[in-house]
Structures are given as C-alpha cells and as structure tokens.
Chains A and B, each alone.
Chain A
Amino acid sequence: MVVGDIATGTDVLVIGAGPGGYVAAIRAGQLDLDVTLVEKDAYGGTCLNHGCIPSKALITATGVAHEAANAEEMGIHADPAVDMGGMVEWKDGVVDQLTGGVEKLCKANGVNLVEGRAEFADGNTARVAHGGEGQGSESIEFEHAVVATGSRPIEIPGFEFDGEHVLSSREALSLDSVPDSLVIVGGGYIGMELAGVFAKLGTDVTVVEMLDEALTGFSDDLAKPVIDNMEELGVEIRLGEAASEWHETGDGISVTTETEDGEETGHDCEKVLVAVGRQPVTDTLNLEAIGLEPDDGGFLATDDRARTDVGNVFAVGDVAGEPMLAHTGMAEGQVAAEVIAGEPAALDHQAIPAAVFTEPEIGTVGMTPEEAEEAGFEPAVGEMPFRASGRALTTGHTEGFVRIVADAESGFVLGGQIVGPEASELIAEIGLAIELGATLEDVAATIHTHPTLSEAVNEAAENALGHAIHTLNR
C-alpha cells in the first residue's frame, strides 16, 4: 500500500462491468452485500459496447435493407439507400441506452461504481489506477473478489490492429462508411456474422479460413444452409487458406494467404478484418500477488461455484473459460454472488444454448444425436423442416429445420439443433425442456400458437414420437 493511502473496504470487489461482472455486482447488492464494481472502459463490457448488441443491431438494420430490396416476390419493389453514418448512430443509441441502463441498475442496487483498471496487491487488497493524467489510484480492501475482465480479440502475427487497414470486430462495428471490399480472416461465427452484414451493405467480401471448413463446431447440416446463403449473397469463402501478410497497394491493401502446400494467393481489398477468436484478459490483474495462475490459454480454472483455486476469489464470464458467451457469464455472475452471500447456488445447468446470427440463424442446445449416443443414450431424433411450416412460408424464409434429440427409453429431451428463421429465439424452448426434465411427450402435447415458427419445435417432438401430422414420420 502506498504510504498515506487509505483503503476503502468492501464485501465484494467485482472487476469488470460486462455481463458477468455487472450481474454479479447487482445480485450481490440485492443480497445486501457491500459491492464495489470497477470498470476501466464502459459499463456493459464487450457484449453491450463492442460485441453482441452492436453486431445484432447492424445485422438487423442491414437485414431490413436487404429484405426490402429483395422482396419482389412479395410484390414489393424498393431500392433502399443505406446511410452508414445514420445506421451506426442508431446502433450507438441502442448501445448507450443499454449501458446507461446497466449503470442505473447498479446504482439502484447499491453498487459502488469505480472507474479504473484494477489489479491485485495481495489476497485482500486491490489497487485501482484511474484513467487520465493526475487521476491517481486507490486501494480497495475486499472480502471476496470476482474477476470478470472478459476477453479481447486475438491478433495474428503480421496483422496488428491499426483501426485503418487491419480491423478487429470492435472497429468493424464502428465504421462510418461502407468499405468497397473486405477480407475477413476467420470463418468462425463472428467472421460469418460480419460477412453477412457487409455483404448486405454491398461490400465485396472474401472470407479466408485456415481450416477445411467454416463454422467449425457446428455439424455440416447446420452450417450448410448458412454457407449456401453466404455464397448467394456473393461472399467468397476460401477454405484451407491462412493469412500470412498484407501490404498496401496504390488504392488499398493486398492480403496474402497461403495453403498448406505453400501456394500463395493475393486478395486485393480496402480493409482486412481479423476475427480468429478471443483470448481472456487475465494478464493485467497481477494475479501473482494472490498466488493464482491462469492455464496455458490464459483462463482461470473454476469449480461449480465459480470459485478459483484461491478461496475468496471468483472468476466469471470469458476469463473462466469456454464457452465464452455472455449468457454463460451472466449465469456465473449470479452464482458467484449468491455463493458469496452464503446461498446454496451452483452452476449445475444441464445445457447452455448458443446462437449464431447469420442468415439463416443457428441455435443449438444440449446434445446432438451423436453426443447423446456417445454418452450412452439411445437417441430418439425428430425433425421438422421449415419448408413445411406455414409461418416460415409467410416470412419468405423456409430454409433449415428444427431437430430435437431425446432419450428413446425415458423420453427426456437431451438437446436440439435449429437452423432457420429465428433459430436463436426458438432454441430457448428446447433449453427449457432440457432444464425441466421434460419429455418428448411433454413438448408434443404442449399446444403451440398457430401460425408460428415455434410449431416446428412441437412438430419435431411429434416426429420423434412417430406421429407428426405435417411431415412424413421417420
């Protein structure tokens, strides 16, 4: 401690105000704990400021423009003009509203907000360096700490983010004009979502992916409708190519890619967006001071109570390892706060849903048929293609399907995979079924509103039971 420095005491110090951190802080506040939340940048973290929310805002906005321009079949003839500046301004408004909301909620729940970058000094003290010149620093003594510092985009050698030519997803979401051409390095979900956004804005998009497939982690039948649609939008997907370097040309840049055989290709473009994944931010915390060591990937190991190896230090969100999803962080944040307050909370969720906001969307939760089999179940599988859904036909989006996976013997729902319109929303029903221990019969016998897309979930369950009405039974 600095001489003359008086430490502020708190029950719970939360480092990072992203979805994991602010949820932990608010919940701890609700449980009558004294909470201090330290944020170095902006309330809401990556999710609200540079990730989920801005990307979904732009996905929606570009989707509106694209739909309008391509609705001749419905008798609509339009030629929408996109004002990129206006679109970004609207997106920023959404973000501001949400981040302001988070700040208000924190205050309303009695959370002390401190701006600055926190690092550990010892097992019960952290120092917070305030931003800006002459702002100084302060010490905070804590009973418990919750590390929620999130993650940052990974840079690849030779492609340091400069905000001008080489962009991270964060910068790509804040462009004030539409680039003519864009190379996206990485065919994962972030790369594919952004490829859709820019392709719909008229950018000439090339996705280069080092592996032999895009959207790894999703089975072929889920990825295929997305990739087909990308190609229809004019996106060029180049598999088995790794970005090796870039250089400026007269009117832009050229990105060089290399195949495993050493074959090089130059891709001329205006900008390059690197979206090859994210890494946890644990290197700024001075973890040595509390005797905590991250694993090789930089993650902090936690138990089912969100505790690290150091008893009074918890880790939630991206720093606590895969899956790096905002809703996982929120669940972990809540558990950490409740455990600190002495409540019997634990992370014993049966399944964590995931969604990709491409067109069509992908939603997954729980086990695939293969995973169920591997776990020792005899899977009962039911499917419903959206082309047989009345509501899907009326939306003009009939690609994709709903699949439900259950244990044939007991009927318990084990998982679901959806690719198609509103998959990100629809997957929640299967998640609920898994969590409640519902059976196929339960889902099948639940009356769903007609005409809606959710009927497809009901129909898939019927299909698994062998008595689907609107599709042929398997």
Chain B
Amino acid sequence: MVREFKLPDVGEGVAEGEIVRWLVEEGEEVSEDQPVAEVETDKAVVEVPSPVNGSVKEILAEEGEVVPVGNVIVTFEVEGEAGTESGEDEEPTESQEQVSEEPADIGGEPAITEADDDAGADAEPETPSGRVFAPPHVRRLARELGVEIGSVEGSGPSGRVTEGDVREAAESDDDEESKGPKQFDTELKSATRKRGEDREEGEAAEPADRERTLAAPATRKLAEDEGVDLNRVPATEERDGEAFVTPEAVREYAEAQREAQAADAEALAATGREGEREERDEREERVPYRGIRRTIGTQMANSKFTAPHVTHHDTAEVEGLVGARADLKARAEEQGTRLTYMPFVMKAIVAALQEYPELNASLDEEAGEIVRKNYYNVGIAVATDAGLMVPVVKNVDEKGLLQLAEEVEELAGKARDRSISREEMQGGTFTITNFGAIGGEYATPIINHPEVAILGLGELAERPVAENGEVKAAHTLPLSLSIDHRVVDGAEAAGFTNRVMEYLENPLLLLLD
C-alpha cells in the first residue's frame, strides 16, 4: 500500500519549509523514524523522520523547493499491506486509508492512495452551482490568506479542498502578484486544459451568437456568476432543434475568455519588461529573502520598532580578567576544555543580573505585566553562514566556568553546522553579542525581543589608559548595553554595567557568591 507523507508542521506557526536535502532516494528502504529529509523552516533546520517501515516510492519535492505545510512531499510503499498498483485489489477501506499514527497528517484528512488519486483526476473537481467542498477551518484559512476558495482546486478525496491546497494557492497568488498584473489561477487553467481540446493558450473559443439558447437553471446561474452571455457560448448539444448549453461549455468558454484577456495583457506588458529584466540580470543577483534570513529580519524589525532602545557604553579595564584566564587556561586545557573569556563574562553578567533583576525580564504586553525571571538562561549570538543564530545556555548561575565553556562551544558549533534544535534556541532571559570577536569597539545591539536587555562586547585589546596622570597600555573591554527603555531606565543600565565591569576587573569577586 502507498502511504503519502505530508510536510508536517515542524514548529509553532510554521507555514512552509524549504527542502534542503533529501537523505533518501527513490526505491530506498527506510525504517520508521529514520530521517528522510532536511527541511529548513523560518525557525531552524530540522530532520523529518519517516512515519513507516517501507521503501521510498516517489519523491515529490525537489531540493531547494519551498513547500507549504500539509503538502505531500514523498510517498512510501509499505510492506506487508495490500498493494494498489495491481488494480486487482479491492478499493482500500476508509480505515486502511487513515494514517492514524502519522504525526504529519495534520489536517486529519485520510491519506489518499494512488488509486484514489487517479480517480480524483478523472472525476471533475468542479461541482454544480459553484459549490466548494472544504471544511470550515480550511475556509477560514483561505480568508486569512486572501484566497478565493472557489478558485482552489482540491487535492483531497473527490476534489475536497485541503489546507495544503489553500496554502499553495496563496503562494502562487503571491508569485503572480510579484510578477506583475494578477492573472487567473494557474491550477484552474491546467484543469481546464485537460478537457479543452487542442486550443492554443490565450486563444479564445470562437463565440457563438444566437438569439435563443436552452440551458438548465443551474447553468444559467453559472453563466451569470461567470459573467458570460449564454448566447455566445458554443453549444455542445441540441434539444428540440435548439442549441443546448451545458455547465461544462460555460466554464470552458469563460476560461477561454479569461485566458485571452490575460494573454492580451501579457503581450502588452511583455516587451518593456523583458528588456528590463535582462539588463537587471547582468548587474544584480537576486537571492530569495526567506528562511532564517527572513526570520532574523522580522525579529529585528519587531524588536527595534516595539522596544525603545537606549544603548549605554562603557569600557572595563580587564587586566584582572586577562590574568585570571591566563592562570586557568592551561588547567582547563589539561581537562580538554578551551577556556575563552566568554564564561567569565557570563558569570559576571549573571552576578550583576541578580542585583538588577529588572534586566533579566520580559514585558508581557498582553497581560500588562513585567515578567522577572528567577532563572538565568543566557543567549549567545553566533554568526553563521545562514545568518545570526542565538543558542541559549540554560541555568548559567548553576554551572562552573568549565561547563559553561564546553556548552558554549558545543552550542556554537551546532549553530554553525545548523544541527541545532529549536529547543536549544529558546527560553533565553538575557543575550550577549560578541561583535568584538570580529573586531570593533562599540555598536548598538538590537534586543532579542521580548527580553529587555542585550550586552554587546567589543574587542578585548590593549588600549591606552590614563592612570594617575600617566598614560599606560592596558587590556580593556568595550561594553555596549542596549535596554528596552519601557522597562529599564538609564540609571539601572549604568548600575548594571558598573557591576559587570567590577566583576570583570576583579574576577575574584565572583567567588564570593
């Protein structure tokens, strides 16, 4: 038996995913829970596991393709169950069709076997009187996405419109819009072409001109809805010597008219647009703005335009820190751990946060409450090839320097090779961004909303420092603290930064806690 596998909703609110890589090939044997594909959503890259033991029958989405959640991406041939290909077996019963355990079957619709699919292609999805068969949640989704549900071709049993169909239609609408003047639904067009004979695209059917046309009342209504004059529709039958028009003929005629109009519009716009595109193609490269890049963009804009940012700058003189790290580094290495400055900074921040809890908080705007966190999960912004990712080190206050060093390294590595899970990037209470690792002194970090503060670290380097009227060279660490001024005031920001500096200048103080 053939099992269809739909792209599951791999994360909260995720509407689509890009197939990054197929991990299996057609014909390959797979076992339940074996990863079959890597899918990049706007949150993370995840592996999608097989729901069954069997073999891969057909891969239906290409690598790089963006697929709406709910669309079938692969089919499996399941061993030990009745096959449907022979054509000799009975139609599967409803209970066989239902893939009850399959987490991906989010719509709860029965999976369709190939046999059903074929039947669906033969049976016209259009129904009399323009009735569309779609459950209420799909209708609502269509309204949400601005999709006219009547124009969506259903891929469900007997042409029922599914969530995936609507998402796909929304996607193709978006594409249409970005290309220029809105055209008519391509799905609808192809459905018509199956029936339409050898008509060239854009060529309108020759209109008939009669004075009297016979048709059923439902057909007349259809013509009215489609804005078609029945007397102009070529008649397919005769009744009592008069032309008789079927709903089929009305639809075909209406579609042909639309195609002709669209072709006209296309022809008008074509010349200028083509030239423009060619020129642009030579000098520009267009990269799709989606996936993690788009998520970063949305997050940044959301944070910047929601939280009034104020950035407080200062510089810590960190000879003490440099010395402490130098003392401990060799010991750490003996234990197989590379000790950077980051664990010290994390400990200093947590110690300061314990004194300034208003910076370890978030704003629940809906409830009108400031949520102070009595736990310390520190996010570390990591630059990756895909863009900025923020793994979170949990419960920093409960961990020692070595453990922190190991966790930071492990999480940063996972972020860079994109094997990090969504859970490992969630639950942060405060964020550090270390732009100094690349070079530079001060910046304005954007808060990792809905947190209320972020500390940016400049480059730890030797700089001139004045002391008792003398200028000397000393190691300094520039700090840039951005705060959400709705929740945190400047005085608190300065107080917090001063405490962080104190701990960085005298790391021994951390031992007092």
Contacts and interface: CB of A to CB of B under 8 A. Distances in A.
- A and B: bona fide binding partners: yes
Interface of A: 344-346, 348-350, 374-377, 407, 409-412, 435-437, 439, 441-442, 445-446
Contacts of B216: 376
Interface string B149-160: 000000011111
Interface string B117-156: 0000001100111010111100110011000000000001
Nearest to B146: A344
A144 B467 CA distance: 69
A446 B94 CA distance: 8
Contacts of B161: 437
A341 B144 CA distance: 14
B357 interface: no
Contacts of B136: 349, 435-436
A435 B131 contact: no
Contact of A410 (B140, B159, B219): B159
Nearest to B156: A437
Contact of A344 (B128, B135, B143): B143
A314 to B, nearest CB: 17
B144 A344 contact: yes
A446 B157 CA distance: 16
Interface centre among B124, B133, B143, B247, by most chain A C-beta atoms within 10 angstroms, is: B133
B217 interface: yes
24 contacts: A344-B140, A348-B139, A375-B129, A375-B131, A376-B128, A376-B129, A376-B218, A377-B127, A377-B128, A409-B123, A409-B124, A410-B133, A410-B158, A412-B127, A437-B134, A437-B156, A437-B160, A439-B157, A439-B158, A441-B94, A442-B94, A445-B93, A445-B94, A445-B95
Grouping DSSP codes into helix (H, G, I), strand (E, B) and loop, the A interface class, with mixed when no group exceeds half, is loop
Contact of A412 (B140, B158, B218): B158
Contacts of B158: 410-412, 439
Contacts of B123: 409-410
Nearest to A32: B366
Nearest to A437: B133
Given A374-B217, A409-B123, 15 more contacts: A345-B143, A374-B218, A375-B129, A375-B218, A376-B216, A376-B218, A377-B127, A410-B123, A410-B133, A412-B158, A437-B134, A437-B135, A437-B156, A445-B93, A446-B94
A17 B131 CA distance: 34
- Counting chain B residues whose Cβ lies within 8 A of the other chain, the interface size class is 20 to 34
Interface in B82-130: 93-95, 123-124, 127-129
A439 B94 CA distance: 11
A119 B362 CA distance: 46
Given A410-B123, A412-B158, A376 B133 contact: no
Contacts of B94: 441-442, 445-446
Contacts of A345: 140, 143
A289 B128 CA distance: 43
B489 to A, nearest CB: 29
Contacts of B156: 437
A348 B137 CA distance: 11
Contacts of A437: 133-135, 156, 160-161
> Considering the complex of A and B, which 9 residue pairs feature the smallest CB-CB distances, nearest first?
A376-B128, A445-B94, A376-B218, A437-B133, A344-B143, A410-B158, A375-B129, A437-B160, A436-B135
Nearest to A434: B133
A71 B219 CA distance: 55
Nearest to A436: B135
A442 B123 CA distance: 18
A169 B223 CA distance: 46
B277 to A, nearest CB: 35
Contacts of A412: 127, 133, 158, 160
Nearest to B161: A437
B127 A410 contact: yes
B462 to A, nearest CB: 56
Nearest to B128: A376
Interface centre among B93, B129, B161, by most chain A C-beta atoms within 10 angstroms, is: B129
B448 to A, nearest CB: 27
B139 A376 contact: no
Contacts of B140: 344-345
Contacts of B131: 350, 375
A445 B92 CA distance: 11
Interface in B231-282: 247
Contacts of B95: 445
A116 B273 CA distance: 64
B268 to A, nearest CB: 34
Interface in B189-239: 216-219
B98 to A, nearest CB: 9
Contacts of B144: 344
Nearest to B154: A437
Contacts of A374: 217-218
Contacts of A346: 139, 143
B164 to A, nearest CB: 14
B99 to A, nearest CB: 15
B220 to A, nearest CB: 11
B156 to A, nearest CB: 7
Contacts of A435: 135-136
A377 B161 CA distance: 19
A374 B221 CA distance: 11
